Each structure stands twice: as structure tokens, then as C-alpha cells.
């Protein structure tokens, strides 16, 4: 049975931990608001961009003149998985859920005889996958020094991926991230970015017919690389909001758990102290009776 001193030290230790988790919860709450606003503000542009690109892609179809980013290489033997996670932990299952989805996709592709390559964005995804899939890694992008994600960061990642595609290193590229829904729910998502796949979520424009100048192929060739960067930027913003939401929720749970532990330890401390006092009284009374 622990001594009173041990119990007291443990109570003080848990109280210190509770202060830290509470502070981290408040910091995450402050960052979440800005990150959520950025993620939500990017959605209308991304949706409208996809709608326009979907119309262009549909008009071009599978013609030989379509840009390579749209029609692909004609094969799907080599897959590049871009796993986007956080640089830090202490955010619940945020990082592990993304890594789990990427791991399942890698196993599925390898089971079909496909070649898998992995590019990680964020330290936690690399750490989670390197033991089992270290031989599949082709690169890592470190964003630990970036204070606030910007479009330039997405462009750098897109340039890396596009240069690998132009060099013939892969046929299909898929990004993995968590889409922010609310503080307690972040949805792990896999999105194919090469060959470009667009889903028109806004529907058609009332049967309107557009005449493009220059040709649809020329416009797509110009916009498709920007579409890759846009998809990556949107995923980074979604990840940022998801990370802060998951951290806020995790630190709130940790704070409450610490409070419950303090209550239990305090009860144990009081009972032990009461037992010590009772024993001392018994010894005093017994000594007095003996005299």
C-alpha cells in the first residue's frame, strides 16, 4: 500500500498534468476556429473548380488529344500513396486513422499484384508506416517549420508529385487525409488526384452550352496541374482543422480523466490518513490503559 507521501506526490503530479492538458485544450480551441474557417472557406472554390473541370473533362472524353494528367498512362500498375498527417501527436486517433486507411489501401493493391510507393507529408504518418512499409517510401515532406499552411506549400508538394509523374515513376496517385466534420468527427478520406477524377457536385448549368477559347484540351492542360495543387491545398486545410479538433477533444478527455483520478487518489489519501490517525489513537489509548 502506498504511503501518504507517495499518494500526495502522485496527486500533485496528476494536478500538474491536468494543467498541461487543459492549457493544450484551450490552445487547440483557439487554433481550431481559424483552421475551421480556412477549411470551410476553401470548399466553395474547390467544389466550383471541380464542377468546371468535370464539364471540360466530359467534353474531351477519352480522346487521344486529352492531357496526360486526365487520360493517365494507360496503365495502373504503379500506385503512389500520398499520406498526409500531422507533425505532432496528442490528437486522439487523427493520425492513426489516416495511416490505417493508407495501410489498408496499400495491402489491397499489393494483394492485386500492384506496385506501391509511399510519399509521406507529416512526421506522424512516416513514423506509423516506416516499420512495415519502409521499403516502399520514395520521399518525405517536412512541414514542421510551417506556422500556417498556405497555397505555396501545396504547390511545392504538387510540383514534387507532378515531376515524379512526368518521370514515369507511377501511374496513379492518391492522397490520404481527414475531412473535418466537427470537433469529434474527422473522416479519413482517400482521393485520387492522378489521373484527374472530377465529380460535378453542382449538377449541370441548366443545359447551357459553352464555347471554349482556346480548345478544351489546351485549357485542361493549363488547369490540371493547378487542380492537383488545389486538391492538395484543400486536403491540407481539412487536415489542419481535423488535427486541432481531434486534439481539443483528446485533451478535454484527458483533463476530465485527470480530474477523476485526482478525486480517487484524494479519497484514497484521506482514508489512509484516517487509518493512520486511528492507529495512533489506538496506540495512545492502549498505552494509557497499560499505565
Give catalytic status of residue 91 as yes or no.
yes
Alpha carbons within 13 A on the beta-carbon side of 1: 8
Q: State how far the alpha carbon of 229 is from the alpha carbons of 52, 61, 162, 285, in Å.
A: 16, 22, 10, 82
Three-class SS of residue 122? coil
The grid coordinates listed for 178 are: 481527414
The grid coordinates listed for 6 are: 507517495
- DSSP string over 129-175: HHHHHGGGEEEEE--TT-SS--HHHHHHHHHHHHHHHHTTS-SEEEE
The grid coordinates listed for 106 are: 496499400
The grid coordinates listed for 54 are: 468535370
- DSSP string over 12-24: HHHHHHHHHHHHH
**CA 94 to chain centroid:** 5
Among 57, 91, 235, 258, the active-site one is 91
- DSSP string over 244-267: HHHHHHHHHHHHHHHHHHHHHHHH
Dihedral of CA 164/170/172/177: which sign?
negative
Which residues are catalytic, by number? 91
Amino acid at each position: 500500500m502506498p504511503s501518504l507521501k507517495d499518494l500526495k506526490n502522485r496527486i500533485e503530479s496528476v494536478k500538474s498534468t491536468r494543467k498541461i492538458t487543459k492549457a493544450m485544450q484551450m490552445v487547440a480551441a483557439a487554433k481550431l476556429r481559424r483552421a475551421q474557417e480556412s477549411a470551410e472557406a476553401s470548399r466553395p472554390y474547390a467544389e466550383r473548380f471541380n464542377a468546371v473541370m468535370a464539364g471540360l473533362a466530359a467534353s474531351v472524353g477519352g480522346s487521344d488529344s486529352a492531357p496526360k494528367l486526365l487520360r493517365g498512362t494507360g496503365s495502373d500498375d504503379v500506385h503512389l500513396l500520398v499520406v498526409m498527417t500531422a507533425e505532432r501527436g496528442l490528437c486522439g486517433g487523427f493520425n492513426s486513422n489516416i495511416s490505417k486507411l493508407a495501410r489498408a489501401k496499400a495491402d489491397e493493391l499489393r494483394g492485386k499484384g500492384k506496385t506501391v510507393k509511399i510519399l509521406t507529408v507529416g512526421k506522424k504518418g512516416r513514423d506509423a508506416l516506416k516499420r512495415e512499409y519502409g521499403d516502399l517510401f520514395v520521399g518525405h515532406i517536412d512541414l514542421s517549420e510551417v506556422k500556417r499552411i498556405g497555397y505555396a506549400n501545396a504547390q511545392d508538394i504538387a510540383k514534387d508529385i507532378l515531376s515524379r509523374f512526368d518521370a514515369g515513376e507511377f501511374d496513379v496517385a492518391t492522397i490520404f487525409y481527414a475531412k473535418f466534420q466537427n470537433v469529434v468527427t474527422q473522416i479519413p478520406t482517400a482521393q485520387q488526384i492522378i489521373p484527374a477524377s472530377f465529380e460535378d457536385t453542382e449538377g449541370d448549368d441548366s443545359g447551357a452550352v459553352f464555347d471554349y477559347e482556346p480548345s478544351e484540351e489546351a485549357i485542361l492542360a493549363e488547369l490540371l496541374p493547378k487542380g492537383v495543387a488545389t486538391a492538395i491545398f484543400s486536403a491540407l486545410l481539412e487536415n489542419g482543422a481535423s488535427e486541432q479538433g481531434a486534439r481539443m477533444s483528446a485533451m478535454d478527455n484527458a483533463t476530465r480523466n485527470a480530474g477523476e483520478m485526482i478525486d480517487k487518489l484524494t479519497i484514497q489519501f484521506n482514508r489512509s490518513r484516517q487509518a493512520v490517525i486511528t492507529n495512533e489513537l489506538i496506540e495512545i489509548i492502549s498505552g494509557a490503559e497499560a499505565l
